[in-house]
Structure formats: structure tokens, C-alpha cells
Structure 1
């Protein structure tokens, strides 16, 4: 039941398509989740890929807009609830499941439901993804009213009137539903991530053909290699094959992409006093976070060579570094898209 559900609240991100979409994963270097989307056409993207990207966006938004928050909140809630039933303090606001948008505490979940309803019906039909999305949608519809009641129950301190009875009943109900929700989310992520990786590789080839390995290509290549690196480390961790040598391979590939982007950026840095807009390349805005990820991977490799100490801490550091990189990329890309939309550039 509720107490048996174990959710790891780390969030790792993976790039989806250039200049626009990023997905995160939900479980620590076991799985991933989070996103920004763009309606702009990607250079060299086929109509089929554009349709597939549009199809996937509402699924990604649910993974990112709901799971990346609720995964963490549910872990906090579980620990606080266990203390609460033993006579400890009431679960506080950090354990609430608010997804506030436009003044509505649960608009994030409602937006996910509406988007997913359309996404499942959208073309091209995708039986595997649509099946996972339907399972997610059905579970979220069941879970949302219970979550709303749960938050209200603790907000109004109703446990003082019924000796915690309704709180215990709600906990039993939401436990199995959260388990189903995260399982469906994991399946959606697994399907989407592989397809996104293929699309991004094709997109990078098209960008190179059109403009060479310019600063936009360098930026997207670093994001792609960051995702590949984290996926590789996840695979090494779960397979038990992690070693200093295996991590070195991952480190070398990612560091190469980062150093090439850094060198290109320095060689082509805009002259001092050059006017900038939000539509301009933003490599220098993410470079420090890309460097932090390189250091985190390097630290893991060093610790592997030093008796495999601090592995859990190192994996957490990689997760945090990767999230910061993607979050920074997403922030700057959203600014860029808003600027382009407002100016018609």
C-alpha cells in the first residue's frame, strides 16, 4: 500500500530536440524527467519528425510539470507521514502537492490532463506511447481529487477532529495510485527518450550541413553529449560495471564536446560593446554549468580509482549538475522564444 511505495526524488534531464525541448527523468541515475517546448521548426527536421515532436510534447509536459515536482513531494510526504502517525509533527507545506498556475493550486495537473487527452488522439498514432499515456491519464484523474482532499485535510488541521482517521485512509489510497502514476511515467519516458535522441542526432547533422559547427551546433552538441553521458553513467551504475576505466570513457566523450564548444565560443566571442538581444546565442550563459557537470563526472572517475568511495554522493552531484545545466538552458531558451514571438524575428 502507500508505505510500500519508494520514489527517488532526484531529477535528471535529457535533451530532446534542439532549441526547444528537454525531458528529465524521475529516479536518480535510475530514471529521468523536465521540459521546455518550442513551436519553432527545427532546421532540417522532416514533417514526420515535426509531427512526432508535437505528439510527444504533452506527454513530456506531464512528466516534467507533474512528476518532477510530485516525485520529490511524495518522498517528503512519506517521511513526514510516518513520523506523524507515530505522534510527530504535522506534514508541513513542503509535503503539499500544489502545482500552482494562474492562482489555481492544481492547474499544473489539470493542464497535463487536458494536454494528454489531446496528445493521445493526435497523429501520428503511436500505440505504445498512447497506451502508456492512457494509463497515466486514468491514474492522474483518480489521484487528483484525493490529493486535493489530502492537502486540504492538513491545511485545515482536520486530523484534530477525527484522530487522523481520514488521513490514514487517504494515505492508503494514494500510495498505490502514485505507484501506478510513476510506473506509467517511467514507461512514457523510456519511449520518448529514445526517439528524442534519434531526432536530436538527425537535427545536429542537419545543423552542421546548413551552417557548419557554429555556436548553435556547439551548444546543442554539449546538451546532447551531457544527456548521453548521464545515460551511460546510469547504465554503468545499474549494471554494476562502473569502474574508473568505464567512467573515463564517458568523461572523455563529454569533455571533448565541452572543450570544443568552449574553444569555439572564445574564438568567436562578440566584440565588447556589441548589442545583444535575447535571440542571440547563449553558450556563455550555460558554459559554467556545463563545466560543473564535467567536474562532477571527473570526480566520480577519481573516486572510482580511489576505492570506490563516495559513489552515492558523486551520483547525486552529477544529477544536480546535470539538472542545473538543463534548467539554465531551458530558462535561456524560453527567453529566446518569447523574444522571437514578441518581435517577429
Structure 2
């Protein structure tokens, strides 16, 4: 059974990115004896599956995608909340005042129901397996080993931090242990974040060509069907966000850049909508994924248009960056819905 290979979720200006699940779910459905999500037999849909080196690379990357989407983002977000709380506590604010409560840090858990760092440990274990798997990818393997090692070193530190703040021990020692734990935490988080950024960059590079080849193979095998329009739109959406992120690095994206991004995204969305209208699902109970994510794509198109409109009317305003981050948020919502539908089978 082939595992998921993913697209990237964007986290906002200055933040890391994550991946969307370009899942080879047809191989899973085939083993279950079901039809694929587009009402066709799995045999008819097999032409677009990755094969040879692409299949190996897709499977290898899955561990990196899983860690990136779940663990890396969680640690970044948790550290941001922790840093605000640490600053408040270290400034002598040891009471639960409204200011401190507003910046409340709960824990470094990946999910609230995590009991024993099982998600982080699974991430590190899966990275070890991926690094050992073919094909050899020197850069990806190197950063995978580093990320797994740093993560394992980090876990006992964040566990101590979680207990320290949960038990409010800073009220007993005037933040003495809190400062010591913080000194251990920050270099590890810096290393983890740097490795996470490198994983993001490498995955972006490798998945771009892979997805293009899969889309071409799909069109040859099945034409521009619902699956093709879905994947094409997801690819274009991802590149729209990447292009906005690149153009916004160190400067505001130009109106011309955003217009070009908008045109490509709107064209892909319009083509998908027109295909869906002309080809309604034979069984309303088994709609293609497109019908579930179409509204999310529409919201992303609208968000990108809002970026363009602000650049046309008030390019110097802070609203431009706010609109860009709103576009990132819209993309993330699209990705999460896509991932949910792909994993649940539509």
C-alpha cells in the first residue's frame, strides 16, 4: 500500500510551510475492493500513479511530510505561546493577571490528548526509516537525521517545562528553574526550526517536479477528468502561495506579480467549476473530492483578489500584509479539507 505524499500548507509571512496530501488513495481503495473517488474502477485510474523512482521518492518523502505537517508546526506554535509566557513570568509577573492569561501557554504537546510524546516519537522513528529507504537523497537524509536527533533531545526538556508551568513552580523559585530550562530550550528550538525550514525547502523542490509528471501521466491515461482538475487546481493553488511568499520576502509583492498569480489561479478554478457543472456525479452519495473543496478554492481566489485590490488602492497600508496572511489562511483551510477528504475517501 502506498502512503500519502503531500502538497505544502503555508503558515504566513515569515513562517514555515507544510504539505498537502497528494495521496495515492487509489492503491488503498484497490486493496479494499472499492471504486476510486471519481466513480471509476481502480484499474481505470492506475495510469497516473507514480512508478519507479518517483514512487520510491513519494513514499520516502511521506515521513518528512507527516512530521512537517503535524510536529514541526505544533512545536513552532507552542514555542511562540511559550515565549510570550516566559517573557511575562521572567519579568516578575508570576500571578495569573489578564495579560498573562491572554498569552496563556498550555504545553508543548503536539495534540492536547497526547500522553507520552507519542506523536513526536513516531515522527522521529519514521524519519529514521525514511532516511534508510531508497532512493538515497543526501540533503534530505542529512536533515532528516538531524531533525530526528534534535527532536529526541528536545522532548525531555519540553516535558520538564510543561510540568514546571503546569505546577506553577515559578512561584516557589522566582523563575530560577524556568530560566535554566529556557537556556536549554532555545538552542534546541533554533536548530529544530532551521532543520524544519530546510525540510520545507527540499520537499517543495522535490514535490514540484513529481506532481507535474504525475499530472501529465494522468492526462495521458484518463484525460482531463475530475481528478485531473482537482490535482491541477491544488498544484496551481500551492504555487500561487509560493509565488506570493517569494515576492513578499523582504518586500511587498508588486501589483503585476499578484495579477499574474490571480490569473493562473482563477483560470484553474474556473476550469474545475465548468467541468464539474458539465459532469455531475452519477451517484450523489459518492461525489468527487472537487465538490467538497470547491468552496475552499473559491475563498482562496477571493483572498488573492483582495491582495490585488489592496495593492491597487492602498499599497502602502498594513492591510496588504494582512490580506496576504489571509490568503495563506485560506490556502491552509483548503489543504486541511482536501487532506480530510482524501484520507476519508471523499
TM-score for the superposition, normalised by structure 2: 0.85
Give the distance between the partners of 2:67 and 2:112, measured in 1 at CA. 14
Equivalent runs, 1:94-173 vs 2, <5 Å: 94-100=105-111, 104-173=115-184
Displacement after TM superposition at 1:164 (Å): 1.6
Displacement after TM superposition at 1:212 (Å): 0.8
Give the distance between the partners of 1:95 and 1:60, measured in 2 at CA. 26
Tell me the residue number matched to 1:23. 8
Aligned in 2, Cα 1:49/1:83: closer, same or farther, shift over 3 Å?
same
Give the distance between the partners of 2:220 and 2:257, measured in 1 at CA. 32
Tell me the residue number matched to 1:68. 73
Aligned match of 1:252 in 253, 263, 286? 263
Displacement after TM superposition at 1:94 (Å): 4.1
Deviations 1:193-226 (A, max 9, x none): 1110111111111111111111111111110000
Tell me the residue number matched to 2:251. 240
1:307 and 2:314 correspond? yes
Give the distance between the partners of 2:201 and 2:13, measured in 1 at CA. 14
1:335 and 2:344 correspond? yes
Displacement after TM superposition at 1:265 (Å): 0.7
Contact 1:19/1:333 (8 A) holds in 2: no
1:282 and 2:267 correspond? no
Give the distance between the partners of 1:51 and 1:19, measured in 2 at CA. 12
For 2:248, what is the secondary structure of its paired residue? helix
Give the distance between the partners of 1:198 and 1:231, measured in 2 at CA. 15
Give the distance between the partners of 1:108 and 1:37, measured in 2 at CA. 21
Give the distance between the partners of 1:101 and 1:207, measured in 2 at CA. 40
Contact 1:18/1:220 (8 A) holds in 2: no
Gaps of 5+ in 1: 1-16, 338-345
Aligned in 2, Cα 1:189/1:311: closer, same or farther, shift over 3 Å?
same
Contact 1:20/1:330 (8 A) holds in 2: no
Greater CA deviation, 212-221 or 307-316? 307-316
For 1:213, what is the secondary structure of its paired residue? coil
Aligned match of 1:47 in 48, 52, 56? 52
Q: How well do the aligned residues superpose, as a CA RMSD in angstroms?
A: 2.3
Tell me the residue number matched to 2:219. 208
TM-score for the superposition, normalised by structure 1: 0.85
Give the distance between the partners of 2:24 and 2:261, measured in 1 at CA. 33
Tell me the residue number matched to 1:79. 84
Aligned in 2, Cα 1:335/1:94: closer, same or farther, shift over 3 Å?
farther
Displacement after TM superposition at 1:21 (Å): 2.3
Tell me the residue number matched to 2:40. none
Greater CA deviation, 33-42 or 160-169? 33-42
Contact 2:131/2:141 (8 A) holds in 1: yes
Give the distance between the partners of 1:74 and 1:311, measured in 2 at CA. 27
Aligned in 2, Cα 1:38/1:295: closer, same or farther, shift over 3 Å?
closer
Tell me the residue number matched to 2:30. none
Tell me the residue number matched to 2:17. 32
